[in-house]
Structures are given as structure tokens and as C-alpha cells.
Amino acid sequence: MAFIRRKKVKGKTYYYIVKSYKDEGRVKQKVLYYIGTADNLLRKLKIKV
């Protein structure tokens, strides 16, 4: 199952699409896509706020 992870680095918030999966009985997570900041996402979608 994929979900959006929010991560704060040096006061800025970044977003990633992450997938959880099992590997040898342990749960691991893999970043599928780096979205960037909310401004980057809105710019990619061409949405003006």
C-alpha cells in the first residue's frame, strides 16, 4: 500500500510517496517518488493558491 509521507528537514516540509512491503518477515518502506515541497506540487499541478 502506498501513502504520502511528510518529512521536516531544517524547518521545511517535504513530501514523498512511499510503499510498505515485507522482506524476510520484516516491514520495510521504499520511496517511490519524491514530490518535494507543497509549492513544488502545486506548481507541477499548475494550481494557483
Give the count of domains, the chain: 1
Domain extent for 29: 2-45
18-27 LR contacts (CB < 8 Å, sep 24+): none
Determine if the pTM surpasses 0.85.
no
pLDDT band (50, 70, 90) for residue 49: low
pLDDT, one tens digit per residue, over 15-44 is 999 999 999 999 999 999 999 998 888 888
Taking alpha carbons only, the member of 18, 4, 28, 20 closest to residue 37 is: 4
